[in-house]
């Protein structure tokens, strides 16, 4: 069922009244939460400091890629259950619940940067006007942040002799699938000192399904970090297994199938590739490690997860070098710039890291991405931006090799015969294992994937050859 249609399934039932909700931060998470709650029947105000973003959303325009979100925002705005403003004074006083959905980027040492959270908490505190709404922290933030917010609010409501009502309610939304994930939660995690406030927040999600887990503030904050760190661990684990498969001549896809039928293991999140990226997994695993180290707790498993993740990038370049010889002057077509498919986000994109390494070895790139087309992408290094072309076959024209670095399904539909005739060379490095190797080899390509061994790129095979 489409994510937006799912909303009709979830209209508030009789005994749950509509609440007034303010959501601070209108990015992927905040806008999905605001429009999702509006579709459930609540009255929602989205607050953001960007005039341009507030104007676009108020016009029902969503300036970033999120399946189903434009319809949800437009429905909410048209039904007068959803509006956007830059003013806390406008959005805060009437709110029963105020959600914090601002970003907490990583600092260079790995600690989460809480400037946005603190600023939002101060702005909320300054606009309460004697009210005492439940303040719900949705942002991924270090263990103890709930107490920080509590201290900021307490300073402002001390005269009322009331306790701040702080709840941690971490999000588990995946970029590109955030609307679906909002309407189909596996679980709703809620941390609070007050069971009453926790249950009040739980009631907002009435009818969405998913296990309601009520705990204390710190445990809710920890659950989020551990969830993302475990997801990252699964990816690095299967990437390490894929490296062993390459060396031992074993098919990683079959290994995943063979272990995944054990219900304790499963097959999800076991796709080998050039590693994980995005604005969440890398940041959250670094933040959890930082929290441990700050308290003298070493985290060698998480450290290894990060190391394997970095190695996947350099291993991609090693494989291309093993097939092309020196990369200096070689023309390499690259498909995929974003950190994963179904998003325009290039933050911590493994594809960008691999392209940087190829450029450092003198390769000439031609880059195609289905959504990152325009050249004014500030996060993308100029040398890569300047290599952008608007068609996958144009990127491949005259190329010695093709490197597929993001798992857009569009790449599976490019005719291989046309691809072969447009390229000069015949090497495909499939960094996300999205093509079928036999089909590619039948079309005349030398195919190299991740954990899909090929004799020319298998170190063990070469050693055996040397011994013979």
- Is 245 one of the catalytic residues? no
Q: How far apart are CA 182 and CA 463, in angstroms?
A: 51
* Under rule CB under 6 A, residue 280 binds ligand UDX: yes
Among 138, 271, 331, 454, binds ligand UDX (CB under 6 A): 271
Nearer to ligand UDX, 164 or 277 (CB): 277
Interface stretch with ligand UDX, choices 143-151, 196-204, 266-274, 375-383 (CB under 6 A): 266-274
Among 94, 154, 174, 385, binds ligand UDX (CB under 6 A): 174
Query: Phi/psi at 84 (nearest 5 deg)?
Result: -130, 145
* Under rule CB under 6 A, residue 112 binds ligand UDX: no
* Under rule CB under 6 A, residue 231 binds ligand UDX: yes
For residue 263, with 0-12 CB atoms within 10 Å meaning exposed, 13-18 middle and 19 or more buried, which class applies? exposed
Q: How far is the CB of 266 from ligand UDX (least distance, A)?
A: 11
Q: How far is the CB of 146 from ligand UDX (least distance, A)?
A: 18
Residue whose C-alpha is closest to residue 299's, from 235, 247, 348, 226: 226
* Under rule CB under 6 A, residue 173 binds ligand UDX: yes
* Under rule CB under 6 A, residue 408 binds ligand UDX: no
Nearer to ligand UDX, 278 or 392 (CB): 278
* Under rule CB under 6 A, residue 183 binds ligand UDX: no
Among 37, 84, 172, 447, binds ligand UDX (CB under 6 A): 172
Nearer to ligand UDX, 71 or 171 (CB): 171
Q: How far is the CB of 448 from ligand UDX (least distance, A)?
A: 17
* Under rule CB under 6 A, residue 305 binds ligand UDX: no
Cα→Cα distances 213→130, 303, 462, Å: 31, 29, 53
Binding mask 328-367 for ligand UDX (x = CB under 6 A): -----------xx---------------------------
Cα→Cα distances 92→24, 54, 151, 197, 232, Å: 9, 16, 18, 18, 37
Nearer to ligand UDX, 98 or 281 (CB): 281
Cα→Cα distances 442→170, 430, 436, 449, Å: 48, 16, 10, 16
Nearer to ligand UDX, 281 or 399 (CB): 281
Among 167, 235, 367, 388, binds ligand UDX (CB under 6 A): 235
Among 228, 229, 236, 422, binds ligand UDX (CB under 6 A): 228
* Under rule CB under 6 A, residue 270 binds ligand UDX: yes
Catalytic residue among 23, 33, 280, 395: 280
* Under rule CB under 6 A, residue 452 binds ligand UDX: no
Interface stretch with ligand UDX, choices 69-77, 90-98, 112-120, 272-280 (CB under 6 A): 272-280
Q: Tell me the site size for ligand UDX, rule CB under 6 A.
A: 19
* Under rule CB under 6 A, residue 411 binds ligand UDX: no
Among 110, 277, 370, 431, binds ligand UDX (CB under 6 A): 277
Q: How far apart are CA 401 and CA 427, in angstroms?
A: 5
Among 269, 299, 311, 357, binds ligand UDX (CB under 6 A): 269
Q: How far is the CB of 136 from ligand UDX (least distance, A)?
A: 16
Output the 3-class SS for the chain.
CCHHHHHHHCCCCCCCCCCEEEEECCCHHHHHHHHHHHHCCCEEEEECCCHHHHHHHHCCCCCCCCCCHHHHHHHHHHCCCEEEECCHHHHCCCCCEEEECCCCCECCCCCECCHHHHHHHHHHHCCCCCCCCEEEECCCCCCCHHHHHHHHHHHHHHHHCCCCEEEECCCCCCCCCHHHHHHCCCEEEEEECCHHHHHHHHHHCCCCCCEEEEECHHHHHHHHHHHHHHHHHHHHHHHHHHHHHHHHCCCHHHHHHHHHCCCCCCCCCCCCCCCCCCCCHHHHHHHHHHHHHHCCCCCHHHHHHHHHHHHHHHHHHHHHHHHHCCCCCCEEEEECCCCCCCCCCCCCCHHHHHHHHHHHCCCEEEEECCCCCCCCCCCCCHHHHCCECCCHHHHHCCCCEEEECCCCHHHHHCCHHHHHHHCCCCEEEECCCCCCHHHHHHCCCEEECCCCCCHHHCHHHHHHHHHC
Nearer to ligand UDX, 32 or 363 (CB): 32
Binding mask 200-219 for ligand UDX (x = CB under 6 A): --------------------
* Under rule CB under 6 A, residue 276 binds ligand UDX: yes
Nearer to ligand UDX, 173 or 198 (CB): 173
Q: How far is the CB of 163 from ligand UDX (least distance, A)?
A: 30
Contact positions vs ligand UDX (CB under 6 A): 171-175, 228, 231, 235, 269-271, 273, 276-278, 280-281, 339-340
Residues serving a catalytic function are 280
């Amino acid at each position: 069922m489409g994510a937006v249609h799912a909303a009709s399934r979830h209209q508030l039932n009789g005994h749950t009244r509509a609440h007034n909700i303010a959501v601070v931060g209108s990015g992927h998470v905040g806008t999905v939460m605001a429009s999702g709650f509006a579709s459930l029947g609540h009255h929602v105000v989205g607050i953001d400091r960007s005039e341009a973003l507030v104007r676009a959303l108020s016009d029902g325009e969503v300036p970033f890629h999120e399946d189903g979100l434009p319809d949800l925002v437009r429905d909410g705005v048209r039904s007068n259950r959803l509006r956007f403003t830059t003013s806390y004074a406008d959005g805060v006083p009437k709110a029963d619940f105020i959600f914090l959905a601002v970003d907490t980027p990583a600092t260079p040492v790995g600690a989460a940067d809480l400037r946005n959270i603190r600023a939002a908490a101060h702005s909320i505190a300054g606009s309460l006007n004697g009210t005492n709404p439940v303040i719900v922290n949705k942002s991924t933030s270090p263990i103890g942040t709930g107490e920080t917010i509590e201290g900021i609010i307490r300073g402002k409501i001390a005269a009322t002799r009331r306790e701040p009502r702080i709840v941690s309610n971490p999000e588990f939304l995946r970029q590109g699938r955030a609307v679906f994930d909002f309407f189909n939660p596996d679980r709703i995690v809620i941390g609070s000192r007050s069971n009453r406030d926790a249950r009040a927040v739980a009631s907002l999600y009435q009818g969405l399904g998913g296990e309601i887990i009520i705990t204390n503030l710190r445990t809710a904050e920890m659950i989020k970090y551990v969830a993302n760190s475990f997801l990252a661990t699964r990816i690095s684990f299967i990437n390490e297994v894929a490296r062993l498969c390459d060396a031992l001549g074993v098919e990683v896809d079959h290994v995943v199938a063979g272990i995944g039928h054990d219900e304790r293991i499963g097959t999800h999140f076991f796709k080998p590739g050039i590693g994980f990226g995005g604005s969440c997994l890398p940041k959250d695993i670094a933040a959890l490690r930082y929290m441990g180290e700050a308290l003298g707790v070493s985290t060698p498993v998480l450290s290894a997860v990060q190391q394997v993740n970095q190695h996947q990038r350099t291993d991609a370049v090693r494989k291309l070098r093993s097939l092309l010889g020196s990369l200096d002057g070689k023309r390499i077509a690259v498909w995929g710039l974003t950190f994963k498919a179904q998003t325009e986000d290039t933050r911590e994109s493994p594809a960008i890291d691999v392209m940087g390494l190829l450029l450092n070895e003198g390769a000439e790139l031609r880059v195609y991405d289905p959504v990152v087309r325009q050249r004014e992408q500030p996060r993308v290094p100029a040398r890569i931006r300047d290599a952008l072309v608007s068609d996958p076959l144009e990127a491949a024209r005259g190329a010695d090799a093709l490197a597929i670095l993001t798992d857009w399904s569009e790449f599976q539909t490019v005719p291989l015969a046309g691809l072969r005739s447009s390229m000069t060379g015949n090497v495909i490095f499939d960094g996300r294992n999205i093509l079928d190797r036999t089909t590619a080899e039948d079309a005349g390509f030398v195919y190299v994937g991740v954990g899909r061994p090929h004799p020319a790129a298998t170190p063990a095979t070469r050693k055996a050859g040397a011994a013979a």
